[in-house]
């Protein structure tokens, strides 16, 4: 799914109104209907709604939602600034609300005296994509007050105070759910701003498809359509050679588990042949834990020699350690190797020891740093938006793919495209999760996916497996090995998605 800026979204609205038999009022009606449908399907324990409406079209949505919820039998109270200069569509929908005697309309300043009982849902329709500056005065106080209430909160389109495309220092409405129209907004996907949205639900309001297809963006969300266009069904006319050779290179005394997990992930993600280059101290551990993989000795307690089969795809780093002999061997290997690699963890930490090492990374390699590793490699940035900008520069400069691991991991391509992942959960915030990702991406690259495809599919796949694992074991208790055990379920779903139905 394309991520558009607030300006592009406004253009898209206008284009739709101009080129389709739909007026702006009808589009607002469609948007409000989509919200009300979601609310009435999902709100099983609440009957009362306190709806806060601004003077722009976001407020217009709020007034229309108020009318529709009332007509469905819910109790509705509306709060607004009755003397505001409303947008024409907001004015019209406000007029309809005032005609309904069952809906009480109050001034914003009456909010503090209102009894918010536990069955009341607060709906924020104050500002949407039209917000042009930080909240101040009455609106800031209002949002601050509403944020103190314990009630369930739903934002329409965007949490008020949040800009769609950038970081803001405004007071921001803290939503439990955000019902947003048509597109993900970039700010939902970055940690500093995404924390205000709660769970995001994208509602299709059928904006013009030609506009969406023809207008360019460099930012994308990895949705089902993206995944369907990448995933290939395994051919029956195949043998183990068809699915490539993987070399996982990692492990050191005390960190053998990382190599075990990465190897197992590569195996379970479908690679044809998997080898693990590890130190001798890991021989029995690896052969017992992952008997399907073959062992190649690379040193005694840590890896020193990186003798690699050139026909294999290499994932280097899990549990590798940064012993000076390991670093020496690794850097020597990098100097003589030119095929794309997957580099993670200690492989990145060794590279980070000297900025000149960055140029040794073969072109088209995939590196998978978490924020701290990214910082060690490329330096500090002020916030995660800036970090993405820096990552784009570095991807272009070094001609590599950067998988920037975060709550919404980003895959950044040398062409400057950013793919945001929306699968996964906080159950992945545990040691070992990254090792699995390295195994998956290495495995996919060995299976003839391109670097871009392997990175995108791998990150999505990892997150989806985590979702299944958390359903069974909870985010708290799930282990990286539980995530690996869900790979089969993810493949079943993937196969169902792309299978041609009779």
Ligand X SMILES: NC(=O)C1=CN([C@@H]2O[C@H](COP(=O)(O)OP(=O)(O)OC[C@H]3O[C@@H](n4cnc5c(N)ncnc54)[C@H](O)[C@@H]3O)[C@@H](O)[C@H]2O)[C@@H](O)CC1
Which residues are part of a known binding site for (6S)-NADPHX? 57-61, 128-134, 157, 258, 319, 370, 435
Contact 456, 230 (CB under 8 A): yes
Task: Give the H/E segment covering residue 326.
Answer: helix 324-336
Contact 409, 461 (CB under 8 A): no
Does the protein bind K ion through residue 160 (CB under 5 A)? yes
State the binding partner of 135 from ligand X, K ion, none, CB within 5 to 8 A by kind.
ligand X
What's the min distance (Å) between Cβ of 2 and K ion? 22
By CB atoms closer than 10 A (0-12, 13-18, 19+), residue 11 is: middle
What's the min distance (Å) between Cβ of 53 and ligand X? 9
Binding piece for K ion, criterion CB under 5 A, among 156-164, 434-442, 450-458, 459-467: 156-164
Short-list 313, 396, 299, 306, CA closest to 347: 306
State the binding partner of 381 from K ion, ligand X, none, CB within 5 to 8 A by kind.
none
Binds K ion by CB under 5 A, chosen from 13, 29, 124, 451? 124
End-to-end CA distance of the chain: 28
Q: Which residues are annotated as a binding site for K(+)?
A: 58, 124, 160
Of the CA atoms within 13 Å of residue 385, those in its CB half-sphere come to: 12
Does the protein bind K ion through residue 395 (CB under 5 A)? no
CA distance 197 to 178: 5
What's the min distance (Å) between Cβ of 11 and ligand X? 10
- Look at residue 104 and give its three-state secondary structure: strand
What's the min distance (Å) between Cβ of 178 and K ion? 8
What's the min distance (Å) between Cβ of 3 and K ion? 18
Does the protein bind K ion through residue 170 (CB under 5 A)? no
State the binding partner of 155 from ligand X, K ion, none, CB within 5 to 8 A by kind.
K ion
32 vs 256, which CB is nearer to ligand X?
32
161 vs 257, which CB is nearer to ligand X?
161
Q: Which residues are annotated as a binding site for AMP?
A: 405-409, 434
CA dihedral 267, 268, 269, 275 (to 10 degrees): -10
163 vs 352, which CB is nearer to ligand X?
163
State the binding partner of 160 from K ion, ligand X, none, CB within 5 to 8 A by kind.
K ion
What's the min distance (Å) between Cβ of 72 and ligand X? 19
Short-list 320, 338, 317, 313, CA closest to 246: 313
Does the protein bind K ion through residue 155 (CB under 5 A)? yes
DSSP per position, 367-390: E---HHHHHHHH---SSHHHHHHH
CA distance 273 to 244: 6
Rounded to whole angstroms, what are the CA distances from 141 to 50, 175, 178? 17, 16, 21
39 vs 437, which CB is nearer to K ion?
39
57 vs 326, which CB is nearer to ligand X?
57
Buried b (16+ CB within 10 A) or exposed e, 176-186: ebbbbbbbbbb
The residues that touch ligand X, with contacts defined as CB under 6 A, are 13, 24, 27-28, 31, 54-59, 61, 87, 127-135, 139, 156-157, 181
**Site residues (vs K ion, CB under 5 A):** 124, 155-156, 160
């Amino acid at each position: 799914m394309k991520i558009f800026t607030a300006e592009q979204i406004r253009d898209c609205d206008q284009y739709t109104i101009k080129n389709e038999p739909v007026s702006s009022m009808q589009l607002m009606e469609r948007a409000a209907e989509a919200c009300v449908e979601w609310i009435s399907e999902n709100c099983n324990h609440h009957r009362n709604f306190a709806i806060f409406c601004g003077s722009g079209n976001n407020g217009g949505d709020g007034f229309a939602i108020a009318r529709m919820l009332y007509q469905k039998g819910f109790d509705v109270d509306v709060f607004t600034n009755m003397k505001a200069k409303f947008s024409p569509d907001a004015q019209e929908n406000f007029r309809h609300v005032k005609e309904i005697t069952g809906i009480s309309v109050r001034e914003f300043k009456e909010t503090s005296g209102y009894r918010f009982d536990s069955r009341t849902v607060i709906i924020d329709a104050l500002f949407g994509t039209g917000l042009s500056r930080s909240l101040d005065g009455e609106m800031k106080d209002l949002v601050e007050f509403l944020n103190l209430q314990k009630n369930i909160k739903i934002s329409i389109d965007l949490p008020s105070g949040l800009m769609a495309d950038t970081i803001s220092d405004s007071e921001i409405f803290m939503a439990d759910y955000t019902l947003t129209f048509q597109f993900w907004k970039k700010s939902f996907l970055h940690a500093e701003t995404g924390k205000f949205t709660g769970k995001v639900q994208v509602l299709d309001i059928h904006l013009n498809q030609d506009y969406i297809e023809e207008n360019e963006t460099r930012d994308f969300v990895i949705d089902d359509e993206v995944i369907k266009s990448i995933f290939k069904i395994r051919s029956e006319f195949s043998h183990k050679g068809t699915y490539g050779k993987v070399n996982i290179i990692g492990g050191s005394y005390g960190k053998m588990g990382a190599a075990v997990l990465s190897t197992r992930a590569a195996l379970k993600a479908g690679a044809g042949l998997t080898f693990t280059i590890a130190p001798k101290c890991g021989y029995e551990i690896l052969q017992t834990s992952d008997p399907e993989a073959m062992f190649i000795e690379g040193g005694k307690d840590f890896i020193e020699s990186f003798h690699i089969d050139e026909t294999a795809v290499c994932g280097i780093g899990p549990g590798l350690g940064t012993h000076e002999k390991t670093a020496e061997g690794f850097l020597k290997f990098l100097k003589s190797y030119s095929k794309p690699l997957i580099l993670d963890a200690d492989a990145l930490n060794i590279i980070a020891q000297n900025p000149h090492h960055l140029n040794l990374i073969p072109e088209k390699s995939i590196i998978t740093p978490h924020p701290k590793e990214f910082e060690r490699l490329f330096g500090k940035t002020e916030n995660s938006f800036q970090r993405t900008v820096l990552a784009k520069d570095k991807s272009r400069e070094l001609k590599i793919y950067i998988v920037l691991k975060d709550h919404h991991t980003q895959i950044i391509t040398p062409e400057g495209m950013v793919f945001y992942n929306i699968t996964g959960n906080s159950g992945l915030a545990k040691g070992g999760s990254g090792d699995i990702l390295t195994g998956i991406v290495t495995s996919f690259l060995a299976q003839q996916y391109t670097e871009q495809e392997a990175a995108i599919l791998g990150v999505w796949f990892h997150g989806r497996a985590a979702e299944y694992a958390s359903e069974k074991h909870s985010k708290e208790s799930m282990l990286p090995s539980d995530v690996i055990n869900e790979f089969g379920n993810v493949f079943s779903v993937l196969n169902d998605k792309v299978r041609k139905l009779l």
